[in-house]
A and B are shown apart, each in its own frame.
Chain A
Amino acid sequence: METSEILESGKIILEKWIESSSTPEENRLDIWVTIENFKPVVQSIVENHWGYLITITGLDVPPLFDEEKKEIQSGQLEALYHFANEAAIITIRVKVPYSKPQIESICDLIPSATIYEREVIELFGFDLLNTPNTDKLVLPDSWPEGVYPMRKTFTNLQVLENTTKEQPDE
């Protein structure tokens, strides 16, 4: 099957949930869905055996001053679920606010997602509901709670200084 046909078949499966979509490259389809629709979308991809989950990418969208409305838009976290079928890639994108970064876990549908979920929980501070394992995966044991290194507000130097101070003198 041609790549475009595969993409089209994926689009048909997800048609009714799509809020907006774009094709940044010819083999890609980005789909924005609302947080309520997120679980059914993944479920339908899994049930239709459309490809496999490559990974989950976290993005930090820091607070931004809106020139038109003259107000500060609150910061958001965006999760990108990449699914690949041969050359075609469908990316399902969900946005959640800093204050309530909750997304349903997809580990019951795709067991291998647990490792990616642990990664975004640690690095971005997502709150994945019903995820089976929230143990630390990559960050050191001494890492402070509630500090998420991949957020834009996090800068290396502060933490580095703090941690080197804490070390016992040799």
Chain B
Amino acid sequence: MSEPKREKFIVPIGPQHPALKEPGNFEFTVDGEIVTDAAVRLGFVHRGIEKACEVRNYTQDMYLLERICGICSHVHATAFVLGVEKLAGIQAPPRAEAIRVLAAELERIHSHFLWLGVAAHEAGFDTLFMYAWRDREVVMDILETLSGSRVHYSVNVLGGVKIDVDEKLSDLIKKDMDFLEERTEYYMKVVTTDDTFIGRTRGIGTLSKERAEVLGAVGPTVRASGVKRDVRVNSPYSGYKEFPVKMITDETGDLEARFIVRLKELYESYRIIKEILEKIQPGELVTRIKRKIPEGEVISRVEAPRGELFYYIKSNGTEIPERVKVRTPSLCNWGTIMDVAVGHKLADMPMLLVGIDPCFSCNDRMVEVRSNSQKPQIMNWDGLRNYGIEYYR
């Protein structure tokens, strides 16, 4: 960041902000109430996973990459596995592909509920937070019955999947989907009609279509601005060829639109899950794969709950990959915050940050209070959040 001008405050936030998620540090330069500059520092959760991939073999990498993020663990593993399968020239059986999509959509539901809760919490709407997280437990139960773990499902193996759905479980999931659909309708009503909530979301952080395209944003953030960018539709992979999804977009591009897009995506997920459970064909779950992966380079793109996840895998013909590059969706959405933040009130910042559904673990495979010569006004995340809530009271 350039030298801050005189009589302007720099407000550092984080990295330790309580109750919520992970460490990240932002610096907002404010002129009175209005933000004039924004900067981000990542790295608190940087563990060096890309390097670690180069010393572990493909199977070990799958489990390591799954632990990049505890929210979207399945999509990381899926992207990696799809890439390796492409390199090896094999195709997972259709039933395995369908189960991968099933797990991915269940994960999307849990992630969107999680985000709804967190976003509501930042807006000072704790009731909605509690409601959303209560309903999220329904999905967590399904995932646990399905795979045995609530967070790192380990659904994938190289060449297929290791879990299966039976009749009984399928009935249970369908019943739960109906319940969640009902709840989603209620949330939709809340976020579109509740006056106090709309006050925090409507017209805030508007990202125009042109700007979103230029900044290369992905996921629900960019779809809320009306850009048709969804890997599941643009470039169907795995089971999405058989079970196509509909692209959900909105025109306004503000925070409210992001809420609406994510909630509408939930409906789409329920539909897909029910469709898969109806149509899934019995069959094999795993195709055999050799330990040594043929030489080559592959790009694998997958739509994570937060947007496009990108994997570049280079193999040198041994059991160990030469290079694994991961580009997570949160990383490209940072650009939008830095762009949108300028000109907004400081009180809107927590909502803006949460609006893109940031995930630091993902980023930090790869944010601190930078020491400034001037005395900055120290404000932690909780303080800022309270400030936001008080401001709009």
Give A residues with C-beta under 8 Å from B. 3, 24-25, 27-28, 52-55, 57-60, 80, 82, 84, 86-87, 89, 91, 110-112, 114-116, 119, 123, 133, 135-141, 149-150, 154, 156
CB A143 to nearest CB in B, in angstroms, measures 9
Contact A86 B235 (CB under 8 A): yes
CB B219 to nearest CB in A, in angstroms, measures 13
Q: Give Cα distance in the complex from A71 to B325, angstroms.
A: 31
A-B contact pairs, 27 of them (CB 8 A): A3-B235, A24-B297, A25-B86, A28-B299, A54-B308, A55-B310, A55-B327, A55-B331, A55-B332, A59-B314, A82-B310, A82-B312, A89-B299, A110-B214, A110-B216, A112-B332, A114-B335, A115-B332, A115-B334, A119-B366, A133-B1, A136-B41, A137-B42, A137-B366, A150-B51, A154-B51, A156-B48
Is B97's beta carbon under 8 Å from chain A? Answer: no
Is B234's beta carbon under 8 Å from chain A? Answer: yes
Known A24-B296, A57-B312, A87-B234; judge A150-B50 contact (CB<8 A): yes
Which residues of A sit under 8 angstroms from B52, Cβ to Cβ?
156
Is B138's beta carbon under 8 Å from chain A? Answer: no
Q: Give Cα distance in the complex from A119 to B297, angstroms.
A: 21
19 other A-B residue contacts (CB within 8 Å) besides A25-B299, A54-B308, A84-B301:
A3-B235, A24-B297, A25-B86, A52-B216, A54-B327, A55-B310, A55-B325, A57-B312, A80-B312, A82-B299, A86-B235, A110-B214, A111-B335, A111-B339, A115-B334, A116-B327, A119-B366, A137-B43, A156-B48
- B176-216 CB mask vs A (1 if < 8 Å, else 0) is 00000000000000000000000000000000000001111
Contact A27 B235 (CB under 8 A): yes
Q: Give Cα distance in the complex from A140 to B367, angstroms.
A: 10
Contact A149 B48 (CB under 8 A): yes
Majority secondary structure of chain B interface residues (helix, strand, loop or mixed): mixed
Which residues of B sit under 8 angstroms from A115, Cβ to Cβ?
331-332, 334-335
Contact A57 B366 (CB under 8 A): no
Partner of A139, one of B46, B235, B296, B339: B46
Contact B310 A138 (CB under 8 A): no
Q: Give Cα distance in the complex from A109 to B327, angstroms.
A: 20
Is B368's beta carbon under 8 Å from chain A? Answer: yes
Which residues of B sit under 8 angstroms from A136, Cβ to Cβ?
41, 43
Give B residues with C-beta under 8 Å from A. 1, 41-43, 46, 48, 50-52, 55, 86, 213-217, 234-235, 296-299, 301, 308, 310, 312, 314, 323, 325, 327, 331-332, 334-335, 339, 364, 366, 368
Which residues of B sit under 8 angstroms from A59, Cβ to Cβ?
314, 323
Q: Give Cα distance in the complex from A137 to B335, angstroms.
A: 13
CB A142 to nearest CB in B, in angstroms, measures 11
CB A88 to nearest CB in B, in angstroms, measures 8
Closest to B234 in A: A86
Which residues of B sit under 8 angstroms from A54, Cβ to Cβ?
216, 301, 308, 310, 327, 332
Q: Give Cα distance in the complex from A28 to B339, angstroms.
A: 31
Q: Give Cα distance in the complex from A156 to B49, angstroms.
A: 11
Closest to B228 in A: A86
Which residues of A sit under 8 angstroms from B312, Cβ to Cβ?
57, 80, 82
Enumerate the 3 nearest inter-chain pairs by beta-carbon distance, A residue then B residue, closest first.
Answer: A87-B235, A138-B366, A112-B335
Which residues of B sit under 8 angstroms from A154, Cβ to Cβ?
51
Which residues of A sit under 8 angstroms from B50, Cβ to Cβ?
123, 150
Which residues of A sit under 8 angstroms from B368, Cβ to Cβ?
141
Which residues of A sit under 8 angstroms from B217, Cβ to Cβ?
112
CB A22 to nearest CB in B, in angstroms, measures 10
CB A29 to nearest CB in B, in angstroms, measures 11
